[in-house]
A and B are shown apart, each in its own frame.
Chain A
Amino acid sequence: MSDVSADTSRRIRPARSIPFLEIRWPRAPLLVGLCIAWLVLVALAAIFADVLAPYGYAEQSLLNRLKPPAFLGGSPDFLLGTDPLGRDVLSRLLYAVRTSVIIALVGTVIGAVVGTMMGILAAHFRGWVDDIVMVLVDFQASVPFLIIALAVLAFFGNSFELFIVIIGLFGWETYARLARGLVIGVNSQGYAGAIRTLGVHPARIYLRHVLPNIMSILVVQVTLNFPEIILLETSLSFLGLGVQPPGTSLGLTLGEGRNYIATAWWIGIPAGMVIFLTTLSISILGDWTRDLLDPSTAKSE
């Protein structure tokens, strides 16, 4: 918790700063440019999956089973080859990207909103509310989330809605801890007290005045959390306990491809590469934005 107090003491920039707009894009190094390009590509694939995919994700063609990719002597109709049911690997990959991106986005938003709210509640009420939230935070931080997720899936069975809720709860404790520390810091400052004496409702103070002030730090946390969420979703799906067939996600595709790794590596490996490149790009991009936002890290490293 000492890191949070360190953050609050290095006071936050004026209200309504949106970090991404402050970045001077043309000065980005080549590597960062490549990462942005890859992420744009992934976003486009997710948005236009049904336009780009030559076949439906569950469309089977039993005459064309386990065909190798076009560049390995396969048919040009199936650019990345086909799986044991004769489904087009490229089409399934595009839909898998869509599913994984949607789950990761929704999960990130749920986690950030729930966690930030808990943190603000704890900081506003203090006392026993604060104690309860912090005990929950400690509990969440001490038991591996993957294990909690597996337990909930075992007890309640698997459904897409439940799966998204579970993914959404990942990482709430980091946001809660961060928001709590930041809000306690902001509340002790003059401007929050000044507005409060005007008789403004606390909810309004937090939404209009406090939240914009702590936004940039929370956004940095999102870039740290997002790759982890992608890894959580793909891990669970890989284990066969996340997205269920005939649906598809990057982890599930890799899991299905594992059984054919000796004979038809092209089923799973592309999905693995997409996960790898995506988390890598977000990590590099996150590192770089953090350095931009916070000149002190550049100095100390």
Chain B
Amino acid sequence: MSPGFVVSKLVRCLVTLLLAVTFVFIVLRLSGDPAQRMLPDDVDASVIEAYRRMWGLDKSMPEQFVRYIVSVLRGDFGISFRDNREAIDVVSERIPATLALGFLALAITIFLGVPAGIFAALNKGRWLDRAMMTATILGHSLPNFFLGILLILCFSMTLRWLPSSGIGTWQHLVMPALTLGTAFAGTVARFTRSSMLEVLDQPFMRTARAKGVSKQTRTLRHALPNAAIPIVTVIGLRLGALVGGATVVETVFGYPGVGLLLVNSVAQRDLAVVQAVVLLIAFSMVVVNLVVDLAYGWLDPRIAALEEREAAT
């Protein structure tokens, strides 16, 4: 992996981030006077005036834009009118809960999806393969909010095993993480399967078999690393859907993470919090995409080399 490859990826990240900030800036200005949007309705006229001066709303648009970027860089998103605190504080205290949910869901996805895809590929065309592929279509079509409600109906209402909402114990995490993880696991299983099937046909797999390498070693040491690229791609591509899904799942289970905060803030039009959450998510998505891009270069050096050659021409 050469520095050029890393730098070109970094530049793209910065462009995306700048676009996200610009998007929020434009939407914010288009939708009315930010001073009135960001402050509660009942504040004094002098406060509004002070706020306008503080944020430079009396300046020209390009100057406002630069000021906006600077304030975003300083983590200054304005005051949440719902609890009169800095928006950034309101958001950041919700982050650990969402990260816990997200990582658990991702773990479920990977430890369910990848082995399922491998087994389906090894048993191609048999009943195990068909059953798994049917399950993935079912999982993909089942909306996560509906699955969540069905789980609540089953495990909270009927069996009374798990709490239906809230946070605190590990039991609170079980259903949200399962809901978020399983839908995603189906997609990963399908990609793992088709990617494994392609690799299993390759001549080097025949060679390994002829050498007498055991089936387990062949699958895990020879086939899986070569099939890893599409799997990493799909996980990277679907992380956005995971973040979107988290907002829905957190709402279903009343799980107080960033997603639930976003939904509540949108409903009550607490714009300072909304823009903080949106920019936070854009930022984390960009970082994740960068990690996935760099992971390619590490998993398959040919990709980095190819992109450098394309960039050179």
Tell whether, in the assembled complex, residue B16 and residue A138 are in contact, meaning their CB atoms are under 8 Å apart: yes
Contacts of A149-170 to chain B: CB distance below 8 A: 150-157
Partner of A144, one of B12, B241, B267, B274: B241
A: interface residue count bin = 35 or more
What is the CB-to-nearest-CB distance from A90 to chain B, in angstroms, rounded to a whole number?
19
CB-CB under 8 A for A300 and B285, given A145-B244, A272-B146:
no
Does chain A have a CB within 8 A of B266?
yes
Does chain A have a CB within 8 A of B40?
no
What are the residues of chain B within 8 A of A135 when measuring CB–CB?
A: 15, 19
Interface string of B195-210 (1 = CB under 8 A from A): 0011000000000000
Does chain A have a CB within 8 A of B269?
yes
Contacts of A240-288 to chain B: CB distance below 8 A: 240-241, 251, 254-255, 257-258, 261-262, 265, 268-269, 272, 275-276, 279-280, 283-284, 287
Tell whether, in the assembled complex, residue B20 and residue A143 are in contact, meaning their CB atoms are under 8 Å apart: yes
What are the residues of chain A within 8 A of B248 when measuring CB–CB?
A: 146, 235, 238-239
A272 to B153, CA, bound (A): 13
A301 to B23, CA, bound (A): 42
Tell whether, in the assembled complex, residue A261 and residue B243 are in contact, meaning their CB atoms are under 8 Å apart: no
Total A-B pairs in contact (CB under 8 Å)? 138
Binding site for B on A (CB under 8 A): 135-136, 138-139, 141-148, 150-157, 227, 231, 234-235, 238-241, 251, 254-255, 257-258, 261-262, 265, 268-269, 272, 275-276, 279-280, 283-284, 287, 300-301
Partner of A151, one of B138, B140, B275: B275
Tell whether, in the assembled complex, residue B137 and residue A239 are in contact, meaning their CB atoms are under 8 Å apart: no
Which one of B24-32, B41-49, B77-85, B107-115 contacts A?
Answer: B24-32
Tell whether, in the assembled complex, residue A142 and residue B289 are in contact, meaning their CB atoms are under 8 Å apart: yes
Q: Which secondary structure dominates where chain A touches chain B?
A: helix
Binding site for A on B (CB under 8 A): 12, 15-16, 19-20, 23-24, 27-28, 30-31, 37, 137-138, 140-143, 145-146, 149-150, 152-153, 157, 194, 197-198, 237, 240-241, 243-245, 247-248, 251-252, 262-263, 265-267, 269, 271, 274-275, 277-278, 281-282, 285-286, 289
A276 to B198, CA, bound (A): 31
What is the CB-to-nearest-CB distance from B50 to chain A, in angstroms, rounded to a whole number?
23
Q: Which secondary structure dominates where chain B touches chain A?
A: helix
Q: A235-B145, A261-B157 are in contact. List 19 more A-B contacts (CB 8 A).
A: A135-B15, A142-B16, A146-B243, A146-B247, A147-B244, A154-B265, A155-B27, A156-B31, A231-B143, A234-B143, A235-B244, A238-B251, A254-B146, A254-B149, A258-B149, A272-B149, A276-B141, A279-B141, A287-B137
